[in-house]
Chain A
Amino acid sequence: MRDLQPSLNQTQRVRLQSALRQLHSLPSSSSSSPLSSVAVADPIQVNHDDNILKGHGTLDCDGEVVATLCGVVERVNKLVYVRALRARYKPEVGDIIVGRVIEIAPKRWRLEINFSQVAVLMLSSMNLPDGIQRRRTAVDELNMRSIFEENDVICAEVRGFQHDGSLHLQARSQKYGKLERGQLLTVPAYLVKRRKQHFHHLEQYGVDLIIGCNGFIWVGEHVEAGENVGMLVEDQKKTSTAEEESWSFTPLETRKHICRIANAVRLLSALGFTLTVEAIVDTAEASLASNIEINDMLGAEFFVQTAEREVQRRASMVRKKG
């Protein structure tokens, strides 16, 4: 999200520039040093004797390997490819993603994830509300709207690609499904790295944080895994209205925490730093420690302070390694 450009005064601008310069000069941890950045149509250094496999982002032009994307050259054994930075999300089987329903089609939902096509969630890849494993009938198909409607936010897992290239999702576990009572944030997909855990329950705030691999991040009130299923079973008219009221009320403190975490995510994505739970929680705690108002978190001062803190953190990591 590059739209967050706080207006910095002169000193803040200078501080930000120096922080970014220090970041640039720090030796990078992995093999992807800035020296291996390429722009479009740059030749890539290869040893022509080996049979190099030319992967994504490369093109064979008169025997020369040429980059077709702006990004960083990665080499894995014999494979050479270019990893683009601000490109669309590239799905892999088993990724956890968050998406928004844009259309209901026969026996499936179409979701917008940050990909070149819409992803499809079949009715058969979804647990039915009553939890029984059975064949989906025509009645189920007609009642699809009661499960998910247009503009609902859903968490699912990538099941695979079909032969025609479309992406299929599945939401068979209790932790997938409709996400309610929270915020959806979009960040560039390259800031999210694949980790073992994408579902995080921040206990000290009572907030659920789901970091989708496609760059869609969900920050919401914590829900127990089995709760959503139970709610859908009962006919809403039968439960008393008073109970419904108390159930549907999110406490103010939780809402404030949700906003604080969401602003931390927006700030980190505007600065271009990788989004990890630790970074997000650190930023939120730093803002709490410095008593910054939630809406001031996106202001100029905290912006520069976060950049400086990140520089210190990375410098200390480099020192620990070296």
Chain B
Amino acid sequence: MGNTRVIVAVYGPREVQNKSQQNNNQALVRCEYSMANFSTGDRTRRQKGDRRSTEISLVIRQTMEASILTHLMPRSQIDIFVQVLQADGGTRSACINAATLALADAGIPMRDIVTSCTAGYLCSTPLLDLNYVEDSAGGPDVTVGILSKMDKVTLLQMDAKLPMDIFENVMQLAIEGCKAIANYIREVLLENTKQLESRRGG
């Protein structure tokens, strides 16, 4: 998304590594988020378990879990590994969009395509998909994740304060951004499926 690049690897459904966490009715969804050393402006070595990583991992896991039909794969585990290669604002959204693509490509049944987008409010204008410069200007940053066809919100985060009416505008803008991304993702998935099927042949 713009200059933000992320890579997502999905493993599973496979056998649960940690037997104590095994759930007899559902699949276990695990997610790990990390930023590469070279992803931001200055090269910093990030701790594996630092607070921001854990929080974003949790957020991505909950968002994807709302969409994956986990009851179809009991006693198994789905791992989502996310790594940010180039960070320019909106890394959370890019990760969720990439995770949706990876899960759909891996053939894991999902209720709907989950997409996410950020929006902000600077200089009295709502802005869609802030980059790093706009984000660090100190204005509010709203991240919205939705199930596109069903029109349901699965993720809503905001930092800084916003009056209620402006918040509604900004959220509406973010939802429109999400829908545009969902269309694009859907086209790509369909094209890929057609390619694979035609190659496989009769």
Contact = CB atoms under 8 A, between A and B. Distances in A.
Interface of A: 20, 23-24, 26, 28-30, 32, 34, 37-42, 57, 59, 61, 66, 68-72, 84-88, 112, 116-118, 164-166, 190-191, 271-274, 310, 314
A105 to B, nearest CB: 12
B105 interface: yes
A234 B165 CA distance: 85
A191 B109 CA distance: 20
Interface string B190-202: 1011111111111
B164 to A, nearest CB: 31
A39 B189 contact: yes
A271 B199 contact: yes
Interface stretch (B12-20, B39-47, B52-60): B12-20
B137 interface: no
8 contacts: A32-B197, A40-B110, A68-B69, A70-B190, A85-B197, A86-B106, A117-B15, A273-B201
Nearest to A84: B107
A86 B189 contact: no
Nearest to A114: B14
Interface of B: 12-15, 24, 27, 69, 73-76, 104-113, 148-150, 186, 189-190, 192-202
Given A39-B186, A40-B104, A68-B69, A165 B74 contact: yes
Contact of A28 (B112, B186, B201): B201
B196 A272 contact: yes
- Which 4 A-B pairs have CB atoms at the shortest separation, nearest pair first? A87-B107, A29-B202, A116-B13, A272-B199
A48 B107 CA distance: 27
A274 B202 CA distance: 8
Contacts, number: 121
A117 B112 CA distance: 25
A190 B111 contact: no
Given A26-B198, A42-B186, A116-B76, 13 more contacts: A24-B194, A29-B202, A30-B202, A34-B194, A34-B198, A41-B149, A57-B109, A61-B150, A70-B192, A86-B107, A190-B200, A274-B201, A310-B201
Contacts of B74: 165
Given A116-B14, A314-B201, A69 B75 contact: no
B105 A86 contact: yes
Given A37-B193, A40-B189, A273-B201, A70 B109 contact: no
B107 A85 contact: yes
A179 B166 CA distance: 68
A41 B111 contact: yes
